[in-house]
Homo-oligomer: A and B are copies of this chain.
Amino acid sequence: MIYNIRINVMPLKDLLDPQGKAVLGGLQNLGIQSVQDVRVGKHITLQIDAENENAAKAIAENASKQLLANPVMEFFEIEVI
């Protein structure tokens, strides 16, 4: 069966996020002042062929650890939809 998996890969909370800071500056230049913090990461959707939801989730976790996220700088969260 095909499972749709969504993975968010975000910069670790303790680290600076230069891309987020750039977006924040851009928003302020556009006059959008009420945004106080921005963090930018990746949103990845996978279609995984697996026997059940847990197997699909395990494959996604393996993929995240091996390729999608850099654990030194990023954390990831996985959601099955």
Contact = CB atoms under 8 A, between A and B. Distances in A.
A37 B47 contact: yes
What is the total number of copies of this protein in its complex? 2
B27 A67 contact: yes
Interface residues of A, number: 33
B48 A44 contact: no
26 contacts: A2-B36, A9-B43, A10-B43, A20-B44, A26-B67, A27-B63, A27-B67, A30-B63, A30-B66, A32-B62, A32-B66, A34-B48, A34-B49, A34-B50, A35-B47, A35-B49, A35-B59, A35-B63, A36-B48, A37-B47, A38-B47, A40-B44, A41-B43, A41-B44, A42-B42, A43-B43
